[in-house]
Amino acid sequence: MRIDASQIADHNKKLLGGQREAYAFLQRQLARKGMNADKITGQLAGLQAAIPSWALGAGGTRFGRFSIGGEPGSLEQKIDDIGLLHALTRSAGAVSLHIPWDIPGDARAIKERAASHHIVFDAVNSNTFQDQPGQEHSYKFGSLCHTDEAVREQAIRHNLEVVGTGKELGSKSITVWLADGASFPGQHNLRGALQRTLDSLKAIYRHLPDDWRMYIEYKPYEPNFYSTVIQDWGTSYLLATECGDKAYTLVDLGHHLPNTNIEQIVATLMMKGKLGGFHFNDSKYGDDDLTVGSIKPYQLFLIFNELVYGMENNTANNPPLAWMIDASHNVKDPLEDLIQSLEAIRLAYAQALLIDNKALEEAQADNDATRAQEILQDAFRTDVRPLLREARLRSGAAIEPLALYRSLEVRKKLVRERGEKTVATGL
């Protein structure tokens, strides 16, 4: 199914009066503080997050997976689902493919289908954390770090094939996440495993097209529980630096030990011009892959504060970031969950744009911690939703995407079209 412009226009017409009032009120409040609501609205509209091709079905845990019905059974249907999200929000204009979960049979046709939804192809993701049917060597004991050269070569080849697929689709970057690690002390020579990983990444990097980037994702644990080869941002930064200018660190919010100061990691990486991308999600304990902003919205705001500051004070020429939602949907309808995540990302961005940086700098210079907190929290506690609604309205999206999604009974229609028992590829 597709959502057409007239359905959106009808929905917006009903909400227009309320939106006009709320926006005008906020516009006046912001103007009093010397801020321009229209400018912020324009900045919000520019923030697009990629949707991963694996996030459109029910996610599972290792204990089970419960179908939600109407799941996309093919890449074409996944693109159509992202098309729905983008039509409703105009903030999901990109897809990130995971290969081999989603290999386009006919790249040109897939590209055309995506273009018909105004969707482009963001980073492609390689997968050497699972064995595929017919694969010669197993990744049970690692891939790019493996002690056996033949396994490493197979994994390198896979990454290059993924780049090849990405090239056909118009992607310009590859994200490498490795499950490589050890579950028991002594299982790995820690230094040897890191060295082999570096050598393998360099081999991939050597074949990277000039206008491509390589993002190196880190994660402290899982599926290995004693050591992960690329365990933290420092290791990723080291590897990216040794590979070269086209390699960057990728931060996945869920890939930190509890209470890690992620905003500080962002600040450090941007200071060095080495922050490549972001995987958004939220968590309470570990890599929980929950809806963005559902658990720690203040942390997300503080992260966006550093991102905005980093973009405005880009002394190290950090390139524009690749944004992606990397969440899993166990109990919610994935499309509803993603609409909420898209909203949370823009909310945090809008709040960060409201920070009075001049006043903050003064408070910092005076070592006035109380004032600094007031300045941050004043921005955080501003209800910025009229700005988000306005950005959607002006870009042809729905003022309230979730409400429209429900009133159009999208899931019910998808179940009717695709069936109750379809299962999407992914974890």
Whole-Å CA distances, 140 to 27, 61, 177, 376? 57, 20, 15, 47
Give the one entry of ligand PSV, Mn ion, none that residue 287 binds, where binding means its C-beta sits below a cut-off of 5 to 8 angstroms depending on kind. ligand PSV
State the minimum distance, in angstroms, from the CB of residue 149 to ligand PSV: 25
In the complex with ligand PSV, the residue whose CB is nearer, 326 or 333, is 326
In the complex with ligand PSV, the residue whose CB is nearer, 19 or 224, is 224
In the complex with ligand PSV, the residue whose CB is nearer, 199 or 288, is 288
Give the one entry of ligand PSV, Mn ion, none that residue 380 binds, where binding means its C-beta sits below a cut-off of 5 to 8 angstroms depending on kind. none
CB nearest ligand PSV: which residue? Answer: 177
β-pairing, 247-252 with 275-280? parallel
State the minimum distance, in angstroms, from the CB of residue 49 to Mn ion: 13
Backbone dihedral angles phi then psi of residue 15, each to the nearest 5 degrees: -100, 0
State the minimum distance, in angstroms, from the CB of residue 30 to ligand PSV: 36
Angstrom distance (rounded) from CA 13 to CA 16: 5
In the complex with ligand PSV, the residue whose CB is nearer, 293 or 386, is 293
Angstrom distance (rounded) from CA 325 to CA 304: 15
In the complex with ligand PSV, the residue whose CB is nearer, 70 or 277, is 277
Residues that bind Mn ion (CB under 5 A): 252, 279, 326
State the minimum distance, in angstroms, from the CB of residue 247 to ligand PSV: 16
In the complex with ligand PSV, the residue whose CB is nearer, 91 or 125, is 125
**Residue 271 is encoded by which pair of tokens?**
């200071």
State the minimum distance, in angstroms, from the CB of residue 305 to ligand PSV: 24
In the complex with Mn ion, the residue whose CB is nearer, 326 or 400, is 326
State the minimum distance, in angstroms, from the CB of residue 309 to ligand PSV: 25
* Exposed/middle/buried for residue 314 (C-beta within 10 Å: 0-12, 13-18, 19+): middle
**Residue 399 is encoded by which pair of tokens?**
């003022």
**Which amino acid type is present at position 287?**
D
Give the one entry of Mn ion, ligand PSV, none that residue 80 binds, where binding means its C-beta sits below a cut-off of 5 to 8 angstroms depending on kind. none
Give the one entry of Mn ion, ligand PSV, none that residue 427 binds, where binding means its C-beta sits below a cut-off of 5 to 8 angstroms depending on kind. ligand PSV
Angstrom distance (rounded) from CA 316 to CA 131: 39
State the minimum distance, in angstroms, from the CB of residue 250 to Mn ion: 7
State the minimum distance, in angstroms, from the CB of residue 194 to Mn ion: 20
Task: Residue 4: count other Cβ atoms within 10 Å of its Cβ.
Answer: 9
Handedness of CA 323, 324, 326, 329 (dihedral sign): positive
State the minimum distance, in angstroms, from the CB of residue 334 to Mn ion: 16
In the complex with Mn ion, the residue whose CB is nearer, 239 or 414, is 239
Give the one entry of Mn ion, ligand PSV, none that residue 400 binds, where binding means its C-beta sits below a cut-off of 5 to 8 angstroms depending on kind. none
In the complex with Mn ion, the residue whose CB is nearer, 243 or 324, is 324
Give the one entry of Mn ion, ligand PSV, none that residue 146 binds, where binding means its C-beta sits below a cut-off of 5 to 8 angstroms depending on kind. none
Residues that bind ligand PSV (CB under 6 A): 54, 125, 177, 217, 219, 252, 279, 287, 326, 427
